[in-house]
């Protein structure tokens, strides 16, 4: 019995190592499930998959209607990431459906959705649930008569050379993507109020979404910069989602082809697709832009132990550690815009933290002259980074009865008055009682 | 405490010296035994709650007091004094030490300490449960002392017996009802006793004791303002009716000086003792009594002619000064919006004030005016005996009896304003009824004794007795001026009324033989009538006792956290839902989780579940309560925003619709709307009423059917009986099938009386707007709504 118990204990303690899953300690994904419409995509998009494999991901390819499809077994997720390269699938096979995909995201896993003109309602509804609205017009495509890619055949201007990228080193890497990104697919839009979704690749002002061959009978519903070509969503639990209106964006053909934007003299040997897709996937699978904060602590100036309660007007020092995941190790995060709030219904103190470049952030301030239950709050939301939201409750009490000033200078006349009255009364009593 | 002195009765005075002292000793022992028995009675009649239920703390406020006492016994008095409680009024916290009347807590804490140092291992809870019964025994002894000072020991014993079991007092002092009033009534009566004692004796010793008793009262209850207004009123009355004496001065001046100094030592009172209007009357009278004393002194040393000149001089100069001072005072007082009075005091002066301006005071049931039946329920036959007692106090009118009259008159008024102040009326009613009963018994037994063959020794006794009543008119004028020429020795002062009247009456009998003869004939009651009257009075008393025991056993013994009901076949059904819910909270939630509920349940949640609450029964911050009221009357999403901004994790509602428990949150809901609307005007009461009627059936307004309180109360309710019939409101509910989007039910007690919901976390994703466009748009515009509606931003 005891042996059995030890065995179980050992197994349990090794479980985190056995399962190379996404965990707070190593946020990079490991096991990725790729769902395809058919296996030919495996070769036609091999550059993308190879780059993932070379970075250490375990890819598992399955058909989207595989009847044995399952994301989790015995309550444990089998994968850390899901790539949906199956735009036309009407129903997933096995136990997978929209709700299961969303649960997968809501439990902190990442998702890539790529659609094209054949996008099914299923794929569109997954995108909608993530906050991205594909053009509902069937077989509508993004058309841009200004910024199309010059190609051999004079087409319908649906192959777009897009270069309006999001300005974020975290999402797209430090190296600037020079060449335009080739895109052919459907448009989607984001709700302006949606603070979680970002346009990574947006269309130019001259783009619109319509059927390429049919005549336009009414103005297109999606036009100009409102059209997003590739978007990312970072959910509140820091799960990351990429939604692309084009599956071809990831294809070997687009990655290798040369590109020249209409009306632009510069011709690039190679399109920006490969760099774009690789860098974006690094961000997506948490190789970059993942922050970790912890060890929130505070002490009264001159003391070493964390107090359970402060007094008003105490001086205190506040520390927090913030690290960034570099893909294989935690590195100190260096920034000058991390702030701490001393918060009770509204921030009473708002201080920018200074860092020692080793991950430790620090500041000191005086507790305001207000008592109540305060919180140290670190709310850090920066474009591309995972959001940090830490708080620690700390009550602030008023002065104790013996912490007030004993003698107040301005009150000396009153002290004098009371003592002279007492003395006077004493003398009066003596005189009155014994002077007869 | 109550050491009965030799019982001096009218007739015994005339008996021989030897038999007199023997009878006095005998009377003293009897009185002592009776007092002990009264104490036992007062204690044991309050134990019904322990016997019928269990030894628990009752209701709401006692739980807070219990928690404070626990803290005191654990951490000592200094930590208690400086206690900043971070588990209530989140996130504001509450400085308990500075906002609580510490008398009760210190008393129970001291008892606990003493008992434990004697190696009697009682728990704090036990001590708390039994504090109120012990102090009601003390209170009846104090009533004995007070009444004895006014009308002699017979009346004192009767009053003590009545007070020991008056239902109004029982309702606040059953075992487990560990509230301020439990000790405050004792302190009130005892302070009055010491005042009267000082007034009768003119002793500085008693005056000092009086100030100390007043200090204890200030420590115990906010009702101390009653004392500090009633005594000045009485002093003023005495001065106006020409009864000024040095005893009056000694009784009053030290009380004001020492009492105010001591009162300002209590943290919760502090500078209020000199700053608020409640205390102005005492200072004004303090000035007046000094002016009067000065006037009497000057009158004594000046010749009458000189005095007249001086008076005209002083009056003309004084009037000018007074006008100036009064003008300044009025300007100062009028500059404050409430005219310097606290809301509760204004409610007393203007009974409609609270309902107009302070819904939070008006919402408390014990702040409502009482109904007529509640007078009969709470003081029973005393209501009929009080007038007789008032008449008895006028024969003869002394300083002390005028005080009692003033006491009953003011307390009757106050009890008419607030049902809670019935408690102040109860001792006054007992004292006056005791006087009435004892006078009546005196008269009746004496006329029986007089007419019984064999015992009728000295007819003059009875005759004289009756003359007291008959000649009271003539006496009235003489007694008014009498006090001035009374010797200052203590004993003489004590026996003053009896002796003096007797002298006067003898004179009357001798000087006016013819008229008093006719009166004598009229006043001696016939034997039969006396016997019947005695029997009727005994019957009245018996009826009172029966009523009191019934009230103690049935009406006032329920602890209100455990409810019982009798089923048709006589079986007993116990509803222990409150403790079930609180223990669920304490076992299943994190220690620092915040629980939102209407403020009624705040004290219980902190004491029983040990969880942080937003608001509690100490209603010191109206805005915070209004925020919770607003959340409860808002639609689900806005409510979620408000609660989320206050870090609330759980919401607790009390719902009586399944078992028919009428004091649930739906019935209190209009007060939440009113209090919330008072601060956040977008909550409007008419939105929740259909044609001025509060209803929850299909006719209810959409605002009502969509507010959080309705949803949390009736969520899944239709599953209980299939059609959603609410047994409190006796109607089918309006909206039966609905889902909660921002809250999830986590616990519902056995009888559905307490339902606990958890706030769902913020959505992980924000949906797009395709399809279901309306609902998704409102979801995604969450932030805008917060900016507009949330009162905290």
Say whether pLDDT at A152 is over 70.
Answer: no
| B514-533 average pLDDT score | 64
Vertex B503 angle, CA B498 and B507, to 5°:
145
Say whether pLDDT at B368 is over 50.
Answer: yes
Residue B779 binned pLDDT confidence (cut-offs 50, 70, 90): very low
- Compare all CA atoms of chain B with the CA of A403 and give the residue at the minimum distance: B82
CA–CA distance, B214 with B259 (Å, rounded to integer): 6
pLDDT score at B554: 85
B80 — phi, psi (to 5°)? Answer: -65, -45
Residue A7 binned pLDDT confidence (cut-offs 50, 70, 90): low
Q: Does A127 touch chain B (CB under 8 A)?
A: yes
pLDDT score at B518: 42
Mean pLDDT of chain B: 82
Task: Tell me, rounded to whole angstroms, the distance of Cα B320 from its chain centroid.
Answer: 42
Say whether pLDDT at B788 is over 50.
Answer: no
| B379-389 average pLDDT score | 89
Say whether pLDDT at B66 is over 60.
Answer: yes
Q: Are strands B594-596 and B648-654 parallel, antiparallel or unpaired?
A: parallel
Say whether pLDDT at A346 is over 70.
Answer: yes
Preceding amide of B396 cis, omega within 30? yes
Question: Token pair of A25, please?
Answer: 């300690």
Contact yes or no for B784 and A374 at CB 8 A = no
pLDDT score at B491: 41
CA–CA distance, B728 with B751 (Å, rounded to integer): 14
A195 neighbourhood in chain B, CB within 8 Å: 766, 783
Q: Is B125 exposed, middle or buried (0-12, 13-18, 19+ CB in 10 A)?
A: middle
- Compare all CA atoms of chain A with the CA of B643 and give the residue at the minimum distance: A345
Are A26-284 and A291-397 equal in CATH topology? no
Task: Tell me, rounded to whole angstroms, the distance of Cα B705 from its chain centroid.
Answer: 39
Strand partners, A231: A199, A243
Q: Is B730 exposed, middle or buried (0-12, 13-18, 19+ CB in 10 A)?
A: exposed
Q: State which H helix or E strand residue B652 sits in.
A: strand B648-654
SS3 category, B94: strand
CA–CA distance, B544 with B378 (Å, rounded to integer): 11
- Superfamily the domain A291-397 falls into: Macroglobulin (MG2) domain (2.60.40.1930)
Locus of tokens 């006028």: B394
CA–CA distance, A247 with A202 (Å, rounded to integer): 16
Any idea where the domains of chain A sit in the sequence? 26-284, 291-397, 409-436
B180 — phi, psi (to 5°)? Answer: -50, -40
Distance from CA of A240 to the nearest CA of B (A): 10
Say whether pLDDT at B603 is over 60.
Answer: yes
How many Å from the N-terminal Cα to the C-terminal Cα in chain A? 102
Residue A146 binned pLDDT confidence (cut-offs 50, 70, 90): confident
Contact yes or no for B765 and A345 at CB 8 A = no
Mean pLDDT of chain A: 86
pLDDT score at B7: 41
The dihedral formed by the CA atoms of B314, B319, B321 and B323, expressed in degrees to the nearest 10: 170
pLDDT score at A242: 93
pLDDT score at A3: 56
pLDDT score at B17: 66
- The per-residue pLDDT for range B248-258, each reduced to its tens digit, is 999 999 999 99
Distance from CA of B114 to the nearest CA of A (A): 26
| B115-132 average pLDDT score | 92
Handedness of CA B725, B726, B732, B735 (dihedral sign): negative
Contact yes or no for A395 and B86 at CB 8 A = yes
Contact yes or no for B646 and A345 at CB 8 A = yes
pLDDT score at B16: 57
Contact yes or no for A196 and B765 at CB 8 A = yes
| A133-141 average pLDDT score | 83
**Gyration radius from chain B CA atoms:** 31
Q: Does A104 touch chain B (CB under 8 A)?
A: no
B771 neighbourhood in chain A, CB within 8 Å: 128
Say whether pLDDT at B516 is over 60.
Answer: no
The dihedral formed by the CA atoms of B346, B347, B350 and B352, expressed in degrees to the nearest 10: 140
Q: Tally Cβ neighbours within 10 Å of residue A173.
A: 17
Handedness of CA A221, A222, A226, A228 (dihedral sign): positive
CA–CA distance, A228 with A189 (Å, rounded to integer): 6
- The per-residue pLDDT for range A278-306, each reduced to its tens digit, is 999 999 988 888 998 888 999 999 888 99
Say whether pLDDT at B449 is over 90.
Answer: no
Strand partners, A199: A231
How many Å from the N-terminal Cα to the C-terminal Cα in chain B? 58
| B80-93 average pLDDT score | 89
Residue B748 binned pLDDT confidence (cut-offs 50, 70, 90): very high
Contacts 24+ apart (CB under 8 A), B2-6: B2/B35, B2/B141, B2/B142, B2/B144, B2/B145, B3/B32, B4/B28, B4/B31, B4/B32, B4/B35, B4/B144, B4/B153, B5/B148, B5/B153
CA–CA distance, B163 with A355 (Å, rounded to integer): 72
DSSP string of B457-473, one letter each residue: --HHHHHHHHHHHHTHH
Q: Are strands A31-36 and A81-85 parallel, antiparallel or unpaired?
A: parallel
Report the greatest alpha carbon distance in chain A: 133
| B125-130 average pLDDT score | 92
Question: Token pair of B75, please?
Answer: 């951490």
Q: Tally Cβ neighbours within 10 Å of residue A376.
A: 20
On the CB side of A109, how many CA atoms lie within 13 Å of its CA?
24
SS3 category, B759: strand
pLDDT score at A425: 95
pLDDT score at A231: 92
A232 — phi, psi (to 5°)? Answer: -125, 150
Residue B719 binned pLDDT confidence (cut-offs 50, 70, 90): confident
Question: Token pair of B473, please?
Answer: 């008119």
C-alpha distances in Å from residue B736, one per residue of A72, A171, B39, B760: 37, 49, 56, 22
Listed in sequence order, the residues at least 6 apart from B333 whose beta carbon sits closer than 8 Å to its beta carbon are: B277, B339, B340
B78 neighbourhood in chain A, CB within 8 Å: 401
Task: Give the DSSP letter of residue B606.
Answer: I
More confident residue, B450 or A2: B450
pLDDT score at B160: 94
Locus of tokens 């009456």: B505
Residues A96 and A70 sit within 8 Å (Cβ to Cβ): yes
pLDDT score at B336: 65
Residues B605 and B589 sit within 8 Å (Cβ to Cβ): no
**Gyration radius from chain A CA atoms:** 32
Say whether pLDDT at B459 is over 80.
Answer: no
Q: Tally Cβ neighbours within 10 Å of residue B423.
A: 26
A124 neighbourhood in chain B, CB within 8 Å: 770
B82 neighbourhood in chain A, CB within 8 Å: 397, 400-401
pLDDT score at B126: 92
A132 neighbourhood in chain B, CB within 8 Å: 768
pLDDT score at A257: 86
Say whether pLDDT at B685 is over 60.
Answer: yes
pLDDT score at B489: 40
pLDDT score at B52: 87
CA–CA distance, A138 with A207 (Å, rounded to integer): 18
Determine the residue among A373, A401, A422, A425 to mutate to test chain B binding: the one whose Cβ has the most chain B Cβ atoms within 10 Å. Answer: A373
pLDDT score at A262: 79
Q: State which H helix or E strand residue B407 sits in.
A: helix B399-417
Contact yes or no for B770 and A233 at CB 8 A = no
* CATH classification number, A26-284, choose in 3.30.70, 3.40.50, 1.10.3470, 1.10.10: 3.40.50
| B550-577 average pLDDT score | 83
pLDDT score at B447: 86
Closest CA to B608 of B4, B53, B10, B125: B125
Say whether pLDDT at A12 is over 70.
Answer: no
Give percent above pLDDT 90 in chain A.
31
Say whether pLDDT at A141 is over 70.
Answer: yes
ipTM for this model: 0.83
- Compare all CA atoms of chain A with the CA of B88 and give the residue at the minimum distance: A373
Give percent above pLDDT 70 in chain B.
84
Mean pLDDT check: name the lowest of A187-191, B560-564, B705-709. Answer: B560-564
CA–CA distance, A130 with B193 (Å, rounded to integer): 77
Residues B608 and B63 sit within 8 Å (Cβ to Cβ): yes
Listed in sequence order, the residues at least 6 apart from A34 whose beta carbon sits closer than 8 Å to its beta carbon are: A49, A59, A60, A61, A62, A83, A85
Question: Token pair of B1, please?
Answer: 């405490």
pLDDT score at A163: 84
Determine the residue among A99, A108, A186, A193 to mutate to test chain B binding: the one whose Cβ has the most chain B Cβ atoms within 10 Å. Answer: A193
DSSP string of B292-343, one letter each residue: HHHHHHHHHHS-HHHHHHHHHHHHHHHHHHHHHHHHHHHHHHHHSTTTT--H
Q: Does A362 touch chain B (CB under 8 A)?
A: no
């Amino acid at each position: 019995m005891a042996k059995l118990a030890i065995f179980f204990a050992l197994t349990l303690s090794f479980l985190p190592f056995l399962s190379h899953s996404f965990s707070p300690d190593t946020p990079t994904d490991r096991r990725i499930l790729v769902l395809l419409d058919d296996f030919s995509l495996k070769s036609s998009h091999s550059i993308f998959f190879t780059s993932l494999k070379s970075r250490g991901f375990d890819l598992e390819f399955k058909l989207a209607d595989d009847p044995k499809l399952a994301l989790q077994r015995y309550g444990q997720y089998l994968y850390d990431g899901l790539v949906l390269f199956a735009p036309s699938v009407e129903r997933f096979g096995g136990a997978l459906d929209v709700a299961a995909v969303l649960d997968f995201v809501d439990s902190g896993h990442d998702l890539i959705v790529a659609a094209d003109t054949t996008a099914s309602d299923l794929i569109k509804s997954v995108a909608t649930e993530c906050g991205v609205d594909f053009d509902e017009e069937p077989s509508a495509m993004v058309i841009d008569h200004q910024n199309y890619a010059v190609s051999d055949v004079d087409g319908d201007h649906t192959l777009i050379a897009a270069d309006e990228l999001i300005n974020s080193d975290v999402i797209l890497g430090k190296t600037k993507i020079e060449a335009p990104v080739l895109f052919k697919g459907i448009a989607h839009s984001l709700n302006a109020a949606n603070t979680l979704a970002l346009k990574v690749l947006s269309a130019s002002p001259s783009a619109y979404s319509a059927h390429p061959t049919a005549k336009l009978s009414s103005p297109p519903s999606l036009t100009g910069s409102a059209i997003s070509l590739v978007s990312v969503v970072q959910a509140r639990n820091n799960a990351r989602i990429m939604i692309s209106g084009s599956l071809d964006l990831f294809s070997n053909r687009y990655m290798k082809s040369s590109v020249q934007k209409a009306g632009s003299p510069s011709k690039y040997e190679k399109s920006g697709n490969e760099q774009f897709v690789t860098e974006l996937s690094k961000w997506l699978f948490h190789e970059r832009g993942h922050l970790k904060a912890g060890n929130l602590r505070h002490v009264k100036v001159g003391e070493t132990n964390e107090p359970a309660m402060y007094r008003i007007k105490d001086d205190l020092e506040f520390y927090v550690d913030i690290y960034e995941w570099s893909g294989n190790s935690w590195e100190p995060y260096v920034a000058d815009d991390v702030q701490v709030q001393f918060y009770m219904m509204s921030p009473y103190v708002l201080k920018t933290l200074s860092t020692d470049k080793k991950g430790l952030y620090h500041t000191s301030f005086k507790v305001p002259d207000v008592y109540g239950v305060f919180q140290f709050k670190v709310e850090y939301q920066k474009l591309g980074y995972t959001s940090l939201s830490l708080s620690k409750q700390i009550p602030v009490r008023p002065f104790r009865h013996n912490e007030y000033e004993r003698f107040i200078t301005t009150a000396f006349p009153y002290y004098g008055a009371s003592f002279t009255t007492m003395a006077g009364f004493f003398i009066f009593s003596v005189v009155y009682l014994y002077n007869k | 405490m109550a050491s009965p002195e030799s019982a001096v009765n009218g007739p015994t005075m005339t008996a021989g010296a030897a038999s007199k002292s023997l009878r006095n000793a005998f009377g003293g022992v009897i009185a002592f035994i009776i007092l002990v028995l009264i104490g036992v009675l007062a204690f044991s009649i309050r134990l019904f709650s322990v016997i019928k239920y269990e030894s628990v703390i009752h209701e709401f406020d006692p739980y807070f007091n219990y928690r404070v006492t626990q803290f005191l016994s654990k951490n000592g008095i200094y930590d208690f004094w400086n206690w900043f409680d971070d588990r209530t009024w989140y996130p504001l916290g509450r400085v308990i030490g500075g906002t609580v009347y510490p008398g009760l807590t210190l008393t129970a804490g001291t008892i606990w300490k003493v008992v434990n140092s004697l190696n009697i291992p009682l728990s704090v809870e036990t001590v708390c449960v039994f504090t109120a019964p012990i102090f009601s025994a003390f209170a009846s002894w104090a009533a004995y002392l007070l009444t004895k000072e006014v009308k002699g020991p017979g009346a004192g014993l009767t009053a003590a017996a009545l007070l020991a079991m008056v239902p109004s007092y029982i309702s606040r002092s059953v075992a487990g009802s560990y509230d301020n009033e439990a000790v405050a009534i004792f302190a009130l009566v005892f302070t009055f006793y010491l005042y009267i004692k000082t007034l009768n004796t003119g002793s500085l010793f008693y005056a000092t004791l009086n100030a100390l008793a007043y200090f204890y009262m200030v420590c115990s209850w906010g009702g101390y303002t009653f004392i500090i207004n009633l005594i000045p009123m009485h002093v003023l009355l005495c001065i106006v009716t020409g009864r000024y004496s040095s005893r009056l001065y000694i009784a009053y001046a030290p009380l004001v000086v020492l009492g105010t100094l001591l009162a300002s030592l209590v943290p919760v009172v502090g500078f209020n003792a000199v700053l608020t209007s409640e205390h102005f009357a005492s200072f004004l009278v303090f000035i007046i009594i000094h002016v009067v004393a000065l006037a009497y002194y000057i009158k004594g040393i000046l010749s009458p002619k000189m005095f007249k000149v001086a008076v005209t001089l002083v009056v003309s100069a004084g009037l000018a000064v007074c006008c100036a001072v009064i003008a300044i005072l009025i300007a100062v007082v009028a500059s404050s919006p409430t005219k310097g009075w606290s809301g509760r005091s204004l409610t007393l002066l203007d009974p409609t004030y609270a309902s107009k301006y302070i819904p939070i005071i008006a919402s408390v049931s014990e702040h409502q005016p009482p109904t007529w039946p509640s007078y009969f329920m709470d003081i029973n036959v005393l209501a009929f005996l009080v007038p007789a007692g008032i008449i008895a106090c006028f024969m003869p009118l002394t300083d002390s009896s005028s005080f009692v009259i003033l006491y009953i008159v003011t307390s009757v008024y106050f009890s008419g304003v607030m049902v809670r102040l019935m408690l102040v009326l109860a001792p006054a009613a007992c004292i006056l009824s005791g006087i009435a009963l004892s006078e009546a018994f005196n008269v009746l037994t004496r006329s029986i004794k007089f007419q019984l063959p064999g015992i009728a020794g000295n007819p003059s006794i009875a005759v004289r007795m009756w003359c007291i009543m008959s000649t009271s008119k003539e006496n009235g004028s003489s007694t008014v001026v009498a006090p001035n020429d009374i010797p200052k020795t203590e004993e003489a002062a004590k026996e003053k009324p009896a002796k003096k009247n007797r002298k006067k009456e003898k004179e009357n009998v001798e000087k006016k033989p013819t008229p008093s003869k006719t009166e004598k004939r009229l006043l001696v009651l016939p034997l039969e009538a006396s016997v019947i009257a005695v029997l009727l009075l005994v019957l009245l008393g018996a009826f009172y006792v029966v009523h009191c025991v019934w009230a103690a056993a049935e009406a006032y013994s329920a602890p209100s956290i455990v409810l019982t009901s009798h089923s048709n076949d006589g079986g007993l059904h116990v509803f222990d839902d409150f403790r079930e819910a609180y223990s669920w909270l304490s076992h299943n939630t994190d220690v620092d989780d915040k629980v939102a509920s209407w403020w009624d349940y705040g004290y219980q949640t902190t004491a029983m579940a040990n969880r942080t609450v937003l608001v509690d029964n100490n209603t010191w911050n109206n805005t915070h309560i209004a925020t919770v009221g607003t959340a409860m009357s808002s639609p689900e999403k806005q409510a979620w925003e408000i609660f989320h901004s206050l870090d609330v994790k759980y919401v607790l509602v009390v719902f009586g619709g399944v078992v028919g428990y009428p004091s649930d949150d739906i019935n209190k809901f209009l007060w939440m709307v009113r209090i919330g609307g008072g601060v956040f005007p977008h909550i409007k009461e008419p939105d929740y009423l259909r044609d001025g009627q509060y209803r929850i059936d299909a006719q209810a307004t959409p605002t009502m059917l969509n507010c959080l309180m309705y949803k949390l109360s009736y969520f899944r309710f239709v599953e209980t009986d299939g059609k959603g019939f609410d047994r409190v409101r006796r109607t089918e509910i309006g909206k039966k099938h609905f889902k909660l989007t921002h809250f999830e039910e986590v616990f519902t007690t056995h009888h559905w009386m307490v339902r606990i919901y958890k706030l769902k976390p913020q959505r992980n994703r924000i949906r797009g707007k395709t399809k279901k466009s309306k609902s998704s748009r409102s979801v995604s515009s969450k932030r805008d709504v917060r900016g507009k509606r949330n009162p905290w931003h």
